[in-house]
Amino acid sequence: MAVRQIRMFADPALRAVAEPVTTFDRSLRELVRSLTATMRAGPGRAGLAAPQIGVPLRVLAFDVDGRAGHLVNPRLELSGRTILADEACLSAPGMWWPRERAFSAVARGRDMYGKPVTIRAIGMLARVLQHEADHLDGVLFIDGLPAEDQRRFLAAIP
């Protein structure tokens, strides 16, 4: 399980749409393990998507409030209820910004062996799953901020 370097916010790879996983083999299991190890080694530890370590595949890992795991090819169903809360990203360390997200979500996908997985999440776990799923579509969390907040965020990046 190698801890990998996390791509920083300005890296164009973070804007690419990740490819669906079609083969559930040893290399996928190694990717999930590296993704999880990298997430846990970083500050924050809540979640990490494969594009953040330079792998353009639809895989994410999470570890929130005692619930840890991963999803391959996730699809999210979001509630209509939203909540505003501070959000951060391992690709922009030390930057926190208030962001509105759905309060709850149902995430469906597969595990590293291809077995179907369903995760019902509320609060912080729902936020993390939305944030990481966005990474798989080349969407960064500042994209959901008002224009003025986006400008302030970008100006604050060291």
What residues are labeled active site?
Answer: 132
Q: What gap in Å lies between CA 115 and CA 110, rounded to an integer?
A: 5
147 three-class SS: helix
Q: What is the DSSP string of 93-127?
A: TT-EEEEEEESEEEEEEE-TTS-EEEEEEEHHHHH
Provide, for the chain, the percentages of residues in helix, strand and coil under a 3-state DSSP scheme, each rounded to the nearest 5: 35, 30, 35
Backbone angles phi, psi at 36, to 5 degrees: -65, -45
